[in-house]
């Protein structure tokens, strides 16, 4: 009986994508084989639906195949996750599958590792939020370069002139992040600390220039560089290893 069942299971899984195959004998489930994708724990938790059920009964067993589909919302969400991971450079596949295939799991794991999240390979709520935030910050960082050369104005929060915290305030709010106006010292009390090796675009870097408290803030833009409004150059890009600024480096925070 076993070889016959194995053949039937293989056949049904090959022609019915997204099936759950059960072998029942004497009221006991002997085998339950979910097809990869819709039965992934993250998808299943969203409320998968049985579309149809077929059964084949022998002398001492019943083979049941159930056609299953995940809810439309969840599949759309996962496709969106894949698109966002692609924008961030983690997902190289051109077609958004909407399934937890190997490239998707690998991309999620890599992102989770880079952002200090628990590595699960699935897009849990924490990871989805972090991915969405990373896309916003990617767009924000790209946009900051449009303001290179804008003059420094103490207290400035507009493209006619910025100070360092005013530039942070303006850019976040321009890109849909509701952030109150705050000083660099105030911003330093928010979010979570990030070490230099863990910096990601959109994180904030802080400096204490001739002071016991934070006096300056800028955006980390990647490749060991940051952008800020400085009194000497206005909006400008600097290296983290800059001979002047590196002496005053205080730390970095991820506030969004």
How many residues would you count in the chain? 256
Q: Where are the domains of the chain?
A: 2-69, 72-123, 139-254
- Tokens for 148, please give them: 């290179």
pLDDT tens string 88-137: 999 988 888 888 999 999 999 999 999 999 999 999 999 999 999 999 99
Q: Quote the pTM value.
A: 0.69
How far, in Å, CA of 141 to CA of 172, rounded? 10
Alpha-carbon separation of residue 172 from 142, 157, 220, 252 (angstroms): 12, 11, 13, 17
Q: Which has the closest alpha carbon to 139: 84, 196, 182, 192?
A: 84
Phi, psi of 41 (to 5 degrees): -50, -40
Q: What is the CATH number of domain 139-254?
A: 3.90.1720.10
Q: Over pLDDT 70: what percentage of the chain?
A: 70
Element (H, E) at 131: helix 125-144
CB 184 within 8 A of CB 216: yes
Tell me, what DSSP letter sits at residue 151?
P
- Tokens for 49, please give them: 């639906």
């Amino acid at each position: 009986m076993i070889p016959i069942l194995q053949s039937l299971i293989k056949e049904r899984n090959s022609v019915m994508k997204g099936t759950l195959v059960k072998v029942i004998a004497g009221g006991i489930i002997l085998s339950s084989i979910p097809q990869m994708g819709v039965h992934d724990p993250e998808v299943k938790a969203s409320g998968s639906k049985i579309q149809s059920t077929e059964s084949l009964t022998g002398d001492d067993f019943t083979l049941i195949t159930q056609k299953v589909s995940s809810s439309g919302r969840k599949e759309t969400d996962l496709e969106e996750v894949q698109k966002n991971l692609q924008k961030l450079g983690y997902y190289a596949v051109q077609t958004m599958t909407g399934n937890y295939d190997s490239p998707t799991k690998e991309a999620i794991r890599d992102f989770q590792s880079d952002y200090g999240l628990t590595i699960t390979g699935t897009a849990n709520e924490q990871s989805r939020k972090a991915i969405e935030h990373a896309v916003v910050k990617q767009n924000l960082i790209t946009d900051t370069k449009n303001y290179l050369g804008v003059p420094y104005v103490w207290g400035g929060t507009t493209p006619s002139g910025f100070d360092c915290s005013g530039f942070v305030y303006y850019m976040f709010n321009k890109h849909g992040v509701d952030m109150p106006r705050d000083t660099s010292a105030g911003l330093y009390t928010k979010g979570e600390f990030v070490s230099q090796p863990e910096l990601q675009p959109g994180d904030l870097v802080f400096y204490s220039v001739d002071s016991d408290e934070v006096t300056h803030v800028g955006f980390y833009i990647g490749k060991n560089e940051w952008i800020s409004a400085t009194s000497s150059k206005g909006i400008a890009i600097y290296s983290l290893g800059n001979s002047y600024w590196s002496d005053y480096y205080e730390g970095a925070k991820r506030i969004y």
